[in-house]
Every structure is written in C-alpha cells, then in structure tokens.
Amino acid sequence: MQQTIALAQSSPLFEGIDPGKMDVMLNCIGYHVKRYEKGESLALEEADIQQVGILLTGSVDMVKEDIWGNKTMLLRVGPGELFGESFACAVDSMSTVSFVAAEDCEALFLPFRRMMHTCSHTCEFHHRLIENMVTQLAEKNQSLMQKVEVISKKTLREKILAYLMLQVQKQGSKYIELPLSRVELADYLCADRSALTRELSKMREDGLIDYDRNTFRVL
C-alpha cells in the first residue's frame, strides 16, 4: 500500500491532496493495482471503460487499429499519467482504442463514478480530485491535438520537423532525447520505417538536424 501511494503521488491527478490522506482517499474510492508484461493489453478496443488508469511504472501506448489490421500509435502514456479517462467519463464508455504495454508496467485503477461523486462522508479530497480530473482531460485533449497537427503535415520531412520542434518545446533544449524508437516514431508519424530512416539521413545531410541514436539536435 505504501509503495503504491509513493508511486501514485507523482500523478497530477493527486496534486494538492495531502500525502498523509492518500491511503484514506484510495480506500474510500476503492482501487486495485495490476502488473502487465510488455505487449500485454490493458484494455482492448470496444471494452467498456469504467475505471481511470494511473500508470505507476513503465509506459503504455494508446493504439488504434483499422479494419485492415494496420495499427497506429496515438499517444504514449508514462508514469503518473492517466489513461482511459476520456472513455470512463463519456456517456458511451466503450473504448475506440486499445491500451497496450510498451514495456513491463504497473497501473493503479480507480472507479470513475466514485471518484467524481462526493461520498456520504463528504471527504474533502473529492472536490480537488474533480478539479484535477478536468485539468487532465484538457491536457490529454491538447496532446491529441498536437498529434493531429504533426501528422497533418503534407510531407514526411515536415512531419519529422513538427515532431522534433514539439519535443524541443517540451524539453526546453535544442538537444533532445526522443522517447520513441525508430519503429515507434515511424508508427507515430504514420510512416514507413525505411522511409523515415532515409529521410532522417537526408535531413542530416541538408544540415537541418544531427543525431546519435535517440539524441537529436535541431540545427
């Protein structure tokens, strides 16, 4: 329990909540923790999402699969971040994406309805939890809008530059560490891996970028 609380406290969902009352809050709402291996599904498309997931360790990909079986990674979730909340709070809670472990991970699950409605004990943390949830929903929406902005570019080079500049803004430096492998980046950009590798080499030759493995510098 204490280890779970320590890991969960890094989540913005619990910002402003007294760490000493975390165990009371979690027990009031009800929770469970589950571990997953790399490649294992946390939730499949068309699943009924009634719980909000909080990633404690590892990383999870939000994946969309089309009718031909082609998969696209929409978003990667890291420790402290939420997943499934957009579906849990909707009138129709059926998921339109799958959540897949990008590496071994551990997640904390909370029932959405009990999170968002004050209990009979009128616990003080409920109101703050609701405020934090609204903020997290807004930030997730912004992340998905950024993804749309990147992949809406006409050429692969423009998509790469848009993605790199997004990372520059997030990391606050022209030297950036990409959180994705080449395969994952190609998936994120909806591009062929070989085409991505060729374009990165051309961009380095043209003096736009320099890189060593996953360390990039925008010139």
Q: What pLDDT is attached to residue 161?
A: 96
Q: Which domains does the chain have, with CATH numbers?
A: 2-143 (2.60.120.10), 153-218 (1.10.10.10)
pLDDT digits (tens, 9 = 90+) for 30-47: 999 999 999 999 999 999
142 within 8 A of 86, measured Cβ to Cβ:
no
pLDDT digits (tens, 9 = 90+) for 176-216: 999 999 999 999 999 999 999 999 999 999 999 999 999 99
Q: What pLDDT is attached to residue 166?
A: 94
DSSP string, 16-32: TS-GGGHHHHHHHH--E
pLDDT digits (tens, 9 = 90+) for 98-150: 999 999 999 999 999 888 876 665 567 778 888 999 999 998 889 889 999 99
pTM of the model: 0.83
pLDDT digits (tens, 9 = 90+) for 66-104: 888 888 899 999 999 999 999 998 888 999 999 999 999
Which of these, 17, 57, 13, lies nearest to 33 by C-alpha position? 57
